[in-house]
Every structure is written in structure tokens, then in C-alpha cells.
Amino acid sequence: MDFKHLPRWWRPVALLAVVIAIIVLSWAFGLDRRIAHVRAWIDSIGGWGPPVYILIYAGATVAALPGTVLTAAAGALFGSLVGVIVASIASTLGASLSFLIARYFAREAVEQWLGSSERFQRLDRLTEEHGQTVVALTRLVPLFPFNFLNYAFGLTRVSFWTYLFWSWLAMLPATIIYVAGTDAAIRAITERRLPWALLAATAAVAVMLWLLVRRAGRALSKAQASPDNGTYRAADHT
């Protein structure tokens, strides 16, 4: 079946249907009790839960493993508030470690990995010309893979603190959506009722992110379309 010809609204409707189906099946098979036990166990280990989660997440990011599942897991394990905090710290820490590894510790290996990449050459030119704006825009618009950016920015001329701040800020809306959305689904399963306030807050952040991505996409397209005579050149940091 060719999904391209279906109306745009089919994806959110399909996602909603899947979420409802998961909730109903969870109630039917008693998954709510198992989830409640997991959360009770997390609570029982006290303050060790968040640090262990942060270390695991940061390590997975350095290893270039997908972080989406771990981000969502924060909502299931810690709830919305603590989950957003620990997931944001963990993703930013992992991204920062990857940046520093690329810049100072494994530069030659990363250059061999990325140096011939057309994507990296384009990113390097954009970063040299537009600096912090490109860090924020590329975090919002999925033009480059998350793990690719973590290492690639280490070879560009962007400063570490600029990279750190704008990466954290631009990743935060998506983190809120994944964590709060997962927490809402978990609450619906365990409490057998929909947390409307949390769902409304998640939807509001999703709309805000959609608007930001649209604006960022247009800005990034203009940046890519602007004439430049630059050629590939990795940053020369010693």
C-alpha cells in the first residue's frame, strides 16, 4: 500500500489508535500492576535511580546508540518532572562527551569516519558561517542524525559552550514530549484513567515544537541556499 497518497491526518490518528489499543490490552492482561511494581522498585532504591540512568544514557550516546527509547523510559521510570530533568541532563552530557572526544581525544578516528561525508562538509560550512544558529536549527530539524551531530560538531569551529547551551535548549522540547507522553500513557495504564492535564501540556509542547521546526526548517533552507565559496575544512583546535 502506498502511504504517500493518504491524507496527512492519518498518522496522528493511527498513533492515537495504537496508544488506545496498548492501554486497553494493558488493562486486559494486568500490565498495569507490573508497571506499578517497577515504579515502586525505582522508588525503593532512592537517590541511586537518576544517577544510574544518566550514566547509562550518556554511555549509550557516546556509543552512538539511539537515545529515543531511553528518553521515553525516563517518563516510565521517574514520571514527567524528574524524567524530563534526568533525560535532559543525560542527553546533554552524552552529546557533550561525544563532542569532546571528537575534538580532543579521537580526532583522527572521527575525521576518518566523517571527513569524506558530504553531510559533514555541508555542516562544517554552515557552522562556520552561522555558528550558534546552526547548532540550534540542526537539533530541531532532523536533517542530520543526532549521534552524527554529536561527533561532527567537535570537528567544526563552534565553541564548546555555544554547542552545549544551544544543544540543550533545542533538544528540550522533544525531551518533554517523549517523557511526558510516556508518563501520560503509563498513568493511563496504571490508574485506568486518562491524565487530561498532562496530555494537554504534552500537546501544547508538541504544537510549539512543530512551529519551531517549521521556522527552523525555513531558516536552515535559506542558510543552505545562501551562496558561499567555502570548501571542506575541519577545525584546527590544539
**4-15 pLDDT per residue, tens:** 454 444 555 555
Neighbours of 76 (CB within 10 A): 18
Q: What integer is the mean pLDDT of 110-131?
A: 67
Per-residue pLDDT band for 34 (boundaries 50, 70, 90) equals low
Q: Are 72 and 178 in contact (CB under 8 A)?
A: yes
Domain ranges of the chain: 8-225
Q: How far is CA 108 from CA 112, 157, 163, 204, in A?
A: 6, 16, 21, 44
pLDDT of residue 172: 93
pTM for the whole structure: 0.72
The full DSSP string for 30-72 is THHHHHHHHHHHHHHTGGGHHHHHHHHHHHHHHTT---HHHHH
Eight-state DSSP code of residue 116: T
C-alpha cell at 145: 542524525
Model pLDDT, residue 175: 92
Split at pLDDT 50, 70, 90, the class of 235 is very low
Helix (H, G, I), strand (E, B) or coil at 230: coil
pLDDT, tens digit (0-9, with 9 covering 90-100), for 142-201: 667 788 888 888 888 788 998 999 999 999 998 998 899 888 888 887 777 778 888 888
Query: What gap in Å lies between CA 52 and CA 57, rounded to an integer?
Result: 9
pLDDT of residue 85: 96
Instruction: Provide the sign of the torsion angle of the four alpha carbons 86, 96, 58, 47, taken in this order.
Output: negative
